[in-house]
Amino acid sequence: GNSVTQMEGPVTLSEEAFLTINCTYTATGYPSLFWYVQYPGEGLQLLLKATKADDKGSNKGFEATYRKETTSFHLEKGSVQVSDSAVYFCALIPNSGNTPLVFGKGTRLSVIA
Amino acid sequence: NAGVTQTPKFRILKIGQSMTLQCTQDMNHNYMYWYRQDPGMGLKLIYYSVGAGITDKGEVPNGYNVSRSTTEDFPLRLELAAPSQTSVYFCASSYKGALRNTEAFFGQGTRLTVV
């Protein structure tokens, strides 16, 4: 079946540190891949996406590259800020079949000044 | 520019009461979803729909019902509310087709407390 595995949190970093949140997936065919962010007390909003192999999604200094060979979509940011503290969700939607969006369990990031 | 609209934003129910959470989208998306998110936890899929007239169970459907009579609307019905249904509920929609898939767009959530 289709599934997404994210690294367990919480992750605590100092401001300006480098961030990596690992995400690997299992899916039939070539799914579209997404990272969502949820700030405290809010809903989910799309952070970035990639729809085919080797695509790089980027937004607000975050990047993730669709790696078909390793079935991964790791989220990275070179220098985190306190305002990046949030929960990050990796997700996929399969390109075939009537199957729904699949989320990882989420990774909570806390950035301290 | 509305996107996905959920109502109400907050609700307190007594055990055994029923209610309907409303969700509507204006993006002509074929897929719609209902998730619940318990405190400090991830999202659990309750029900989803791939188009008008079609609904399917997700991971945690017990205690809930849905209908999809139109493309725009996907209400979630809670019958006989229980404390275990205290959660934040999110509705989402996306488009999935032969040539393209969009990301999912989320509503702002409904915070439900059952006492």
pLDDT mean values, one per 10 residues, chain A (113 residues): 89 97 91 93 92 94 96 97 96 82 92 96
Mean pLDDT of B34-52: 92
Mean pLDDT of B108-115: 96
Cβ atoms of residues B109 and B95 within 8 Å: no
Cβ atoms of residues A50 and A66 within 8 Å: yes
Q: Look at B104 and A34 and tell me if their CB atoms are within 8 Å.
A: yes
Out of B33, B56, B100, the one facing A101 most closely (by C-beta) is B33
Cβ atoms of residues A35 and A101 within 8 Å: no
What pLDDT score does A99 carry? Answer: 79
What pLDDT score does B64 carry? Answer: 97
Q: Look at B101 and A46 and tell me if their CB atoms are within 8 Å.
A: no
Hey, is the C-beta of A103 within 8 angstroms of any chain B C-beta? yes
Mean pLDDT of B12-35: 96
Distance of CA B55 to the CA centre of its chain: 12
Mean pLDDT of B86-111: 89
Q: Which residues of A touch B103 (CB under 8 A)?
A: 32, 34, 46, 49
Q: Is it the case that residue B100 has pLDDT exceeding 80?
A: no
Band of pLDDT at residue B101, cut at 50, 70 and 90: confident
Q: How many Cα atoms occupy the beta-carbon half-sphere of B63 within 13 Å?
A: 16
Give how far Cα B74 sits from Cα of A61, B16, B66, B112, Å. Answer: 35, 23, 7, 18
Q: Look at A43 and B107 and tell me if their CB atoms are within 8 Å.
A: yes
Hey, is the C-beta of A73 within 8 angstroms of any chain B C-beta? no
Helix %, strand %, coil % for chain B, to 5? 5, 50, 45
Q: Look at B101 and A89 and tell me if their CB atoms are within 8 Å.
A: no
Average pLDDT over all residues of chain B: 93
For B44, the 3-state DSSP assignment is strand
A100 or B25: whose pLDDT is higher? B25
For B83, the 3-state DSSP assignment is helix
Out of B54, B103, B107, the one facing A46 most closely (by C-beta) is B103
Band of pLDDT at residue B94, cut at 50, 70 and 90: very high
User: B65, exposed or middle or buried, with CB in 10 Å at 0-12, 13-18, 19+?
Assistant: middle
What pLDDT score does B1 carry? Answer: 65
Nearest to B21 by CA among B30, B31, B33: B33
Mean pLDDT of B26-33: 95
